[in-house]
Structure formats: structure tokens, C-alpha cells
A and B are shown apart, each in its own frame.
Chain A
Amino acid sequence: MNTKVDNERQQPGILAEMRNLLRQNVRNYAMYIALFVIFILFYFLTNTTFLSARNLTNLVNQTGYVAIMAVGMTIVLIIQQIDLSVGYAAGFFGACAAILMAMGVPVGLAILIVLLFGVITGAIQGLIIGKLGVPAFVTTLAFLFIFRGLLSMVTEGSGTVVVTNEFFNNISNGFLPKVFSIWGKHGLTLVVFALMMALIIIMQIKKRQEMQRYQFALISTPLMVVGIGFLLLLLGWLSFSLSGYNGLSWSILLVAIVTFIYDFVLKKTRLGRYIYGVGGNREAAALAGINVRNTVIFAFASMGMMSALGGILYTSRLRSATPTAGAGFELDAIASCFIGGVSTTGGIGKVVNSVIGAFVITSLTNGLNLMGVGISYQYIVKGIIFITAVAFDVRSQGRKAI
């Protein structure tokens, strides 16, 4: 009897199960598929240059500041708010860091001051939104103007501020030190990737065991092996490719750490629950004893810090602060989140997917640049991809609801 049931369950086969799983979790997989398609497409369109170690390294470093801001923006969007000020905030904070260092402030202290400043301005916006009840769209638009003004004010005298500090410039341009080699490749990079892969395997197995203990519906073992195998293959290839060049960059490591922390907070902690609660149903959250106002303030304070960090990464990448830095970053960050499946009506979203969304956006820019497509066309292509992604997302949601 039992075996018969088992047979029946397995009958659909691994491909059918895969199709089913894809259909049910389009939101979670869509951007991976998009990224994959973009990679393959550009590989051929650019005569393999797109996937060269040199370009991949470049791509990863370009994504850094967008990814960081997308992480912060994810929380803001989950709680049904928006932050338009992050672009010029990043520009302004980047300039602040450059100026502080030019004034002789030690690099570590300069970074700390700027991050703290980001938290404070973010919290002020959160307070205006959460306590006074001014809509986020209006508040952050006002702060967009303010930051823009501040940026041109601090760069007025000097114009572009050049950063000479090596440590600072290394954040977005440097790589893990080449301590040792394995097969003539960057040793430390391979070790970090190996650790990462081991961690993924352990976490997946642990999660699976837990699910089994409570007898929750599982995906079948072969499919899970295929899934993890695919991911490991991808990481393995990336590690090989990167380690053959300069190795792992500091900025990607920073993005990974920040993403990990935010993912942990959202998934595992009380604060994370509050954020999803407030985003999913604000009134219900308030009546469940959650302090909605504080949650909003937190979201904006964290966003403020992430835009400061993004500004630092961007300034470091250019080795200088310019009077126009940061223009339009907010749009890239917001687009990354929506491509990464954050719900346009709030309550749903994952930081990891937003980071992938950021990669989709920079891959597009990078690939189109390699192909020699003009900047005007790039924006048009980006717009089309963006609206397609969100339309796809909304449609898949709609179908589920009926």
C-alpha cells in the first residue's frame, strides 16, 4: 500500500517536479533565470569577452554600491515605503568621507563618522515619516533636494576631491592578498569560495533535516542534489575564473557580509518579523503590539547607513568624489529590488534576491557597454527589462490569487 503511494508520487519524474516547483516559485527564481539568460546572451554577443575573468571582476566591483543600497532599500520597500534620497545621499556622504580624509582625519574614523551621519539623517527622515505622518515619497524627495544641495555645497570650492588614501581606494578596487597559490591560482580566493560552498551544503542539509522532522512537504532528493549541484558548479566556476585573475575583491566580500547580516536579521530575528508584519498589514501589526513607528524609523536609519556605505564604495571606486556623484542611484536600487521580486505592495521580499537583481542591472549595463551600445539605448533597454520583470511578477502573483 505504502509503496504504491510512493510510486505514484514519484511517477511525475524529476522534470515534472522541476516544472511544478518553478511554476510555484516563479518569484524566487525569476531573477536567477534572467541573470542566466543575460549571461549566456552576452557571452555570445560579446565574443566571450563578457565572461572573461577580467570582465567578471569588473562587473562584480561595479555592482558593489548598487547591491549595498538595494539591500537597504529592500527593507524600506517591504514596509511599503520608498526612499528617493539615497542617490544624492550616497554622493554627499562619499564626498564627506573624501573631505574628512583630505582634512587629515584617519580613514577608519572618517568611515565611521560618515556611517553614523548616514544613520542619523536616515533616522530623521524615518521620524518625519513615522511620527509626523508625512508620506515617504514627499519626505525623501525633499531630502533628495537637500542632499543635492549639500553635495554641491561641500564640493563647491574644490570641485572634484581626489582621494589619495590607499586603504580607502582599495575597498572598491583592491583584492584579497595573494598569500599563497593553488595550481598557480589565487589561493585565498579558492579557500573563501570553498568555505562558502561548504557552508551552503551544511545549511541545506540542516534545513532539510529540520523539515523532515516536522514532516513538511519536501522537494525530492534528486532534485535537491541537482539544485545544489548547479549552484556549486556556478560558484566553482566563478571561483576558478576569478582566482585565475586578481582573485576575490574586497567589495564583493563586503556585499556578501552585509547581505548575510541583513538576511539573518530578516529571517531569524524579532526585528525581521516586525518588518514583514508592518509591511504585510500595518494595522494588524500595530494591534499585535508592534511599535510601527520604531520599525519605520529603523528601516530609514538602516537605509541611511547603507546609502553612506554605498557612497563610500562609489567614491573609493572612482578614487575621488565628484559634484554629480550619486545621481540616479536611487532608481537603480529600487529597480534592483523590484527585479529581485520585492512586492510592489509591500510585505514580501528577500535581500539576497535584491542583490541578484542588482547584478542583473549591472550586467545589462556592462554587457551593453562591451557591445558598444550607446548610453541612450542602454537606458531604453533597462526600462524595457524592468517593466517586463515587474509585469511578469505581478502576473504570476495574480494567477496565484485566483
Chain B
Amino acid sequence: MDDYILEMRDITKIFPGVRALDLVNFKVRKGEIHCLVGENGAGKSTLMKILSGIYPWGDYEGAIYYDGELKKFSNIRESTEAGIAIINQELAYVPEMTIFENIYLGHEIMKGRLINRNEQIIQTRKLLKQVRLDINPTTKMSELRVGTQQLVEIAKTLSKSAKVIILDEPTSSLNEQESTNLLSLLRELKRDGVTLIMISHRLKEVVSIADTITVLRDGKTVCSLDATTKNVDEFEIIKYMVGRDMKNIYPHRTEKKCDEILFKVSDWSAFELKKRKNVLKNLSMTVKRGEIVGIAGLMGAGRTEFALSLFGNVPGYKLTSGKIELEGKHLRLDSPMDAIRAGIGYVTEDRKVNGLVLMQDIKFNISISNLSALMKGVVIDEQKEILTASKYQNDLSIKSTSVHQKVRNLSGGNQQKVSLAKLLFTNPKLLILDEPTRGIDVGAKYEIYSLMNQMVAQGMSIIMISSELLELIGMCDRLYVMSDGEFTGELQREEFSEHRIMEMATNIRKEI
């Protein structure tokens, strides 16, 4: 009765010293949306790399049956030819090439010995229609938004007539609206008979879209839940993921109201030189001591630009007006160094790109933001450095063998904690957290939230930028909604609702 298109049986994969997968079983029905969930390091990506031939046959134990046949993929080309396509979290495209060139890169349509450009454009137009994109196939990839690029990637897999498409965290860099778009597109593809495997941390999406949910934990299959016959909720999935009941995703916080205004921005405007337009328009906000203030908004609303400009880092921008006050004192910040000295910390949106020096160890990354606190004459006091790093390692429970471990080898959640520790070491009064839980697992998220609560309890204030509305609603005391470079609304905790935030973020009707 069950029509499985794909079966992975007793898959075991061993890395030096680590058993990444241990007798994993994974079965996918034809034409379903199958979600694969699990904490970071549970083995999801490894399993998909085996399926797509990145780890070739012979490199693992167990067997893959696809369409009833035993398959021995030795590279990604073979799996693609068989009809299995993978779209990685980090999209792989050539930015300076057009959409159609990217789609047909590597399997060009030929006319004799030459590339048939016109036919490629015609076919691309059809493919784009299939993914509901209405754009010119000759547009450059670099001009598209991330959400659109993602859709182009899907079109690319369709061009290779993929029957099974694997999507690794497809919505992690999309905003809510783009995510919704993508999910409904996936539903349509399913109707067309495509089988979809999706890895995701966003359980809400998983619950809404999945036919089957397979949970992996520590390299083992925990369970496969059939969501078509029985209702599965997020809490149930979390329970299987972490192996414990987690009643509350957001830790409780003892409210400590304080009316003292710590930080105040007024009339903050910036002009982007390259695009010749105003990116930040008369932004004003206040942050009280011990408060967590959220900034919601869609991708491209200017949230990160705002945060970076407050932090004294404005490459390519020109501040046209505005004033910052911290503890009643007017500040002039020309560089991140000024900001750090004044007591403002910024934890970046993407720890790998501009947060951490991956090839260096934990202590290097923590101490680098405040070396002057560790000096003994002209020399860095290495003992003090190790003690300091160890202290943060303990306080933030960074899991590693020692502070000498290279940051590259840490999991996403632990990397994020190092990123946090680095700024905490500067003793900030105001901490700006840009997407603090992106790409980290549920358990680590909870730890980050608890840390945030601890920090504000100690009198620090936090500005939290996030694309996950539930996270903002769960954590913030107050929030501002940003749209196209301006604040379109301010909401008190009692007024929080996803609906209202989305309305303001999309700027359907202005209300201030």
C-alpha cells in the first residue's frame, strides 16, 4: 500500500572519532513532503549528503533504494541524473550571470556545438512560471533578493527534471512573507508529483506543511510521525528532538520594570551612496534600562543597517541626521571602537561572515574585542586571558574541550555563544543582537534566551533584531516595526500579535 520512492536502510557513517549516523532508517513516500528535523549535529545534513552522493558509496554502511533499485551514487552528478536534487542552505550560484545562464550552467541546451541561448531563455521563462516568478530571465542573479534567488534555485532543479528535491533550511534567510510564498509553492510542486524532503529548524513551518516528519537525534532515527492521519504539534516534535519535555520555548522572566531611559536615538537618517536613496528615515527610539526592545521587519527593511550605523560602522552610507544619547550623554560614534568604548555592543547577524575568526580558538575570539583589559605592560597576559575565557565558557556553558579549541569546530549554538561572550567581555550597557538564534537548534536557542534574561536582570539593555516573529513576541518587552527604512509602529507587550506586526511590517496601513 505504501509507495516508497526512497528508502535509506541502516545507514551508518563514521567520521574520525564520531559516529555521525548510527543505523538510520529513512523512508520517503512518492509525492509527499517529508520534513527532517533534529538539533544541530543530529546528522540531518550528513544523511542528505549521503543521499546526494557527496559522501560516495563505500564511505558509509547501509543501502539506498530509490524507485525500488539499490543505488550506489559515487558523486553528486549520478544522484542528479537519477532525479535527486539538493538545494543547500548557502545557495550556489554565479552572481554576475543571468538567471537563465545560472539555470542551465553545466547542462546547457546546445544547437550543434554552440549554446542555444534563445531556447534557454524560452525554457527558463516556462520554469520561472512554474515557480510563480514573473521576472525577466536575463536579469542578473546578484540583483535578486534572497527569496527570489531561492525560487530560481528550485527552478534549476526542475530544469534537471528532478523527482526528489532536498531543501536544506530553505527559509532560514527568508522573511515571513517570502517563507509563506515558498511553502505554498512547495505544496504546488507536490501536487505536480514532485517528492520533497525539507530540513528545517522552523517547527511551525514543519507542522504546517509536512506529510511525514522524521526526527533524528544524535545520529539515530527517533521516530517518523505521520502528520496526515494525526495532528502533530510543535511541542511534540521538540519533545522527540531533545528527548525531554520542553513546556516553554521561551524561559520565564521576572519582570523588573525600570523607567530610566538608558538609550535614545532621535531623528536618525542615512543615505546609501551606491543606490542613491535614503535607507534610514528619521528613526527615533528609546530603550529603558533592563529592557529588551525588539525590531521587527521584513528582510531589506533596513534593520541591520540601522544597527550597524548605531554601532559606528557605516561603510557605503552617509548619516544625514540624528543624535544618540546614552545615559543622558550625547555620543558621537565614528567607529565600532568608539561604540564599544561608550558601552554599546553589537552581535552580528552572521557569525561566520563577520562575527568570528573561525580558524582561531575560543580565547582568541573572546579576548579580541577588549585586549586592553588583558595587558601586562606591552604584553598580553596569557594567564589572565585563559582565565577570562574560561569564565565565559562556564557562564555561557560553551561546550568544548578547552578554550584552546578552534571556533571552526564548534556547533552553531556554541559559536553563537562565543560571539556573545566576545561582546559581553567589553562590559556593554546596551547590547544589540542581530538575529541571535539564526541557524541554531532549539536547545541552544533556549540557552541564548535564558542568557538574555540574565543579562537584562543584571541591568543591561538589549535591542533584539529578529525575523522570527514568535521569538520577538516571546522575548521582548516592547517592539518597533520597521518597513522600508522607517518605523511603522511601536507595540507594547500587551499589544503583540503576529497579525499586527505583519500588517505594520508590510505597511498595509500606517499607524504610529
B contact set with A: CB distance below 8 Å? 15, 311, 313, 335-337, 339-341, 346, 348, 353-360, 364, 367-369, 371-372, 375, 378-380, 382-383, 386, 401-402, 404, 408, 422, 426
Contact = CB atoms under 8 A, between A and B. Distances in A.
Contact of A284 (B335, B356, B401): B356
A284 B354 contact: yes
A287 B380 contact: no
A348 B311 CA distance: 29
B48 to A, nearest CB: 16
Nearest to A270: B371
Contact of B336 (A268, A277, A287, A401): A287
Interface in A349-402: 401-402
A270 B380 contact: yes
B364 A276 contact: yes
Interface of A: 210, 214, 216-217, 268-270, 273, 276-277, 280-281, 283-291, 343, 347-348, 401-402
Contacts of A401: 408
Given A280-B360, A281-B358, A290 B368 contact: yes
Nearest to A268: B379
Given A288-B336, A291-B337, A269 B356 contact: no
Contacts of B354: 281, 283-284, 286-287
A289 to B, nearest CB: 4
Given A283-B353, A347-B359, A273 B378 contact: no
Contacts of B353: 283
Contact of A288 (B341, B368, B383): B368
Given A280-B360, A287-B311, A287-B354, A214 B386 contact: yes
Contact of B360 (A214, A276, A283): A276
B380 A268 contact: yes
Nearest to B312: A289
Given A286-B313, A289-B340, A273 B368 contact: yes
A281 B422 CA distance: 15
Contacts of A289: 335-337, 339-341, 369, 426
B34 to A, nearest CB: 27
A27 to B, nearest CB: 11
A138 B357 CA distance: 27
A397 B402 CA distance: 21
A270 B378 CA distance: 8
B402 A216 contact: yes
Contact of A348 (B337, B341, B359): B359
B369 A288 contact: yes
Nearest to B311: A287
Contacts of B408: 401
Contacts of B15: 402
A270 B375 contact: yes
Nearest to B404: A216
A273 B367 contact: yes
A272 B339 CA distance: 23
Contacts of A214: 386, 402
For the complex of A and B, 9 pairs with smallest distance between CB atoms? A283-B354, A280-B357, A289-B337, A288-B369, A289-B340, A281-B357, A268-B379, A270-B371, A289-B336
Nearest to B354: A283
Contact of B383 (A210, A217, A273, A277): A210
Given A270-B372, A273-B371, A291 B357 contact: no
